[in-house]
Structure 1
Amino acid sequence: MTHQSDPRVVAVISAFHPPQDLPERVKNLNKQVIHTVVVDDGSDIQRTDGVLKNLEDLGCTVVRMPENVGIAAALNAGIDQALRVWSPDFLVTLDQDSALDDGYIATALDTYTEAQARGVEVGLISAQSHNGLDVPLLSRRARFPEAFDPLQSGAVIPVSTFKKVGMLDERLFIDCVDSEFNLRVRSHGLATLIGKGCNMTHALGQAQPMMLFGWHVTVLGIKRHVHSHAPFRVYYMTRNSIYLWRQYGARFPVWLVRRLRFQIESDVFRMLYGANRRGQYRAFVRGCLDGWLGRLGKIDPSFQLRIRA
């Protein structure tokens, strides 16, 4: 817990069918913040009521959304609650499967203070490493390095940033929410720094063997895997990536080209080697169309059903 004179930091966690071990992670997190707000994004109450009650027993504020509204809207609801009740100086946003190392918040605030003293306008501070592996940087030669595309999970954000650039874009629903916010922060002349020494443990997506005609693809002696996503996630990733291009392509072309390379690699591998390739392809095509036409919001439920099988 912080001292009275320290910056007031409140954590906001978006949860959907939260895991049983979330209260244990929050118990450790509470040592670094003055309060934690957990937003349940429309989970099945019978499956999650016990976990949510355990979080309330720890002193957390639990906000229950009546339906699944997406990570941006869920986090915004938690941020609004934190601002109204706790008047923090900083907010740290987190996924339900993320855990901050001891001292993460204090280290991030040290980076913020040092950068501000050097005349850097800081929009947010994110992890230097995930699971012990350094994140990609915009430039390694900068005195205060910026993450290439920092996750919203683990981002320590001054309240002044939200006042200057606005809240998370709820129209994206999920996927690219953090990327859009990062670009908007940079559009306002603010830096997205890494906190020197900040490490976050984060669950990795499910990986499947990359198979070709029954052969596990091997490159330089290493068996390759592809991270698997449900087709509805492919839809959101594709649609929202195209939206980013349309909104920010003129201002950040190099950044978007670099990100596009990673996106294309993932898309090609998924459609060649992933599960439910037909659904993946249909989701990709529909995502391209809706992204180009600016159709945002939650996926059409009937289309989601058609691409599931």
Structure 2
Amino acid sequence: MTQRSDPRVVAVISAFHPPQDLPARVKDLNEQVVHTVVVDDGSDLDRNDIVLRALEDLGCTVLRMPVNVGIAAALNAGIQAAFEAWSPDFIVTLDQDSALDAGYVAAALATYAEAEANGIHGGLVSARSHNGHNVPLLRKRVRFPEAFDPLQSGAVIPVSTFKTVGMLDERLFIDCVDSEFNLRVRSHGLATLVGKDCNMTHALGQAQPMMLFGWHVTVLGVKRHVHSHAPFRVYYMTRNSIYLWRQYGARFPAWLVRRLRFQVESDFFRLLYGENRKGQYRAFLRGCRDGWLGRLGKIDAAFQRKISS
């Protein structure tokens, strides 16, 4: 069966030093959407990136940010451009390392329409599975399940949602942008639906072995690994998670406690086994302080250099 593009949907992709295989994935994506906007977040100032030029040759709209503005601002710019040029009914947002299975958009729209027909107003429809593995759900054994904390990548979002809840929060810069948007969607009584049969392939990043005095840590017969992040990412994850608590803790305490468990576990192993633990520890402490004080925006350049050295 040939997959036809949906004239109601525009895709917006955030990019930063885009990978060589992005045009091939966008070519497949264009079979499901009427147009694709790619926003380069300040990595192609001299306008000679061959990947971005290849995307333009495919007919994509390529926006180049003059500086690194963060994923929220980059996506917002692409979404606004889509509003003005095509007046779509839905936006699907994607990372540069994500790919939607054939039929993903049609399945997401079918889920949305069925939920609406049954009195459930969807704020977005996200992937049911990543790389073939089901995502955590908010509640099980319900007719229209909701994702616990859906990624922005792969989210099919009605334009009406943006009009109701606003755009992505640019002050967070990178991490927790999707989590904050999800909570804002739920605050307005909208559902974060999962699309039936919607699978997204998404890069997981590199994990390194958990080593203790030369021994690869093994628990219940399974060798353990830890996903290590650069210290500046640890800063954003810590700061923005605390910001979520301050903004939404009273309204969604159970959700935040559940999310905190994953965060604490990740932080513990990262600080114990990750690379550049000194820089990560400093980033963690500064993130705690700035999150508590409500200091948002882009990380201070001098501090980023300090924790990265």
TM-score greater than 0.5 by the shorter chain: yes
Tell me, in whole angstroms, the C-alpha distance in 1 between the residues paired with 2:139 and 2:121: 17
Residue 51 of structure 1 pairs with residue 26 of structure 2: no
Alpha-carbon RMSD: 1.2
Deviation of the 1:206 alpha carbon: 1.4
- 1:302 is aligned to 302
TM-score normalised by length of structure 2:
0.98
Paired with 1:122 and 1:45, the residues of 2 have a C-alpha distance of 38
Q: CA deviation at 1:142?
A: 1.4
1:239-264 Cα offsets, whole Å, 9 max, x none, are 00000000000000000000000000
Residues in 2 aligned to 1:46 and 1:68: alpha-carbon distance in whole angstroms: 14
2: CA distance between counterparts of 1:7 and 1:105? 11
Give the letter for the 2:66 counterpart: P
- Per mean C-alpha deviation after superposition, the further-off stretch among 208-217 and 8-17 is 208-217
Matched, 1:62 2:62: yes
Q: Does 1:273 align with 2:273?
A: yes
Give 1:45 deviation, angstroms.
4.5
Where does structure 2 lack aligned partners over 5 or more consecutive residues? Answer: none
Cα deviation, 1:7-62, whole Å, max 9, x if unaligned, reads 51000000000001100000000000000000000004469611111000000000
Deviates more, 1:206-215 or 1:106-115: 206-215
Determine the structure 2 residue equivalent to 1:147: 147
Structure 1 residue 132, shift from structure 2 partner: 0.1
Contact 1:7–1:90 at 8 Å: present in 2 too? Answer: no
Alignment partner of 1:9 is 2:35? no
Say if 1:2 and 1:34, in contact at 8 Å, map to a contact too.
no
Shift of 1:221: 1.1
Q: Distance in 1 between matches of 2:194 and 2:104?
A: 11
Alpha-carbon offset, residue 270 of structure 1? 0.4
Runs of 4+ in 1 over 2 A off after TM superposition: 44-48
Find the counterpart in structure 2 of residue 38 from structure 1. Answer: 38
Aligned residue for 2:181?
181
Aligned to 2:92: 92
Q: Confirm whether residue 197 of structure 1 aligns to residue 190 of structure 2.
A: no
Change (3 A) 1:210 1:48: farther
* Residue pair 1:232, 1:307 contacting (<8 A) in 2 also: yes
TM-score, normalising length from structure 1?
Answer: 0.98
CA deviation digits over 1:281-307, x for unaligned, max 9? 000000000000000000000000000
Residues 8 and 33 in structure 2, CA contact (< 8 A), matched pair in contact too: yes
Cα deviation, residue 214, structure 1: 1.3
The one-letter amino acid paired with 1:61 is T
Consecutive unaligned residues in structure 1, runs of 5 or more: none
SS of 1:174's equivalent in the other structure is coil
The question of 1:137 aligning with 2:134 is answered no
Report the counterpart of residue 259 of structure 2 in structure 1: 259
> Structure 1 residues 290, 232: CA separation in 2 closer, same or farther (over 3 Å shift)?
same
Q: Within 5 A, what are the aligned runs for 1:97-112?
A: 97-112=97-112
